Amino acid sequence: MKALRLAAISALVAVTSCSDAVAPQRQIVDFEAAHQRWQAQNLHTYAFTLQRACFCANVHPLYVAVVSDTIAGVLDFETGTWVDRQLGKTVEDLFTFVQGAIDRRAARIDVAYDPARGFPTQIDYDGAVLLADDEVVYSISDVHPITPQT
């Protein structure tokens, strides 16, 4: 009976070890392919909807306008007011965030990418299991080119 229990535990450890070793590699491959699809569009002036779910300020849906790869403005859809541009992110900022999480081996970094255009559509992040309130989920949608008004 002990031998059977020991064998089962050994098999569980082996399976768990294999999945942990494969998951980071898969994240890197997905990340690189998606980032290449995004960059191939050569889109530097665009807008999109960004929403954060976290223990942080302003979790309302935000309209982020990006002009020449720089955040030009961030509109809070719920209040209808322009808010601090630091609440926004560019798509490249989001890729940088994901790359940093992969490099630091975050406790959780699950990312879904738009299959055609490459931008992240959902980022689920937890930096450290034992650290409270560092979790954040980004949802990204409606990415589209814009023509800035002069």
Cα–Cα distance list, 146 to 36, 68, 95 (Å): 21, 11, 21
Q: What is the C-alpha separation between 98 and 124, in angstroms, rounded? A: 10
What is the reported pLDDT for 9? 45
The pLDDT confidence band at residue 7, using thresholds 50, 70 and 90, is very low
Domain edges within the chain: 2-145
pLDDT at residue number 138: 95
Determine the pLDDT at residue 82.
96
Residues in the chain: 150
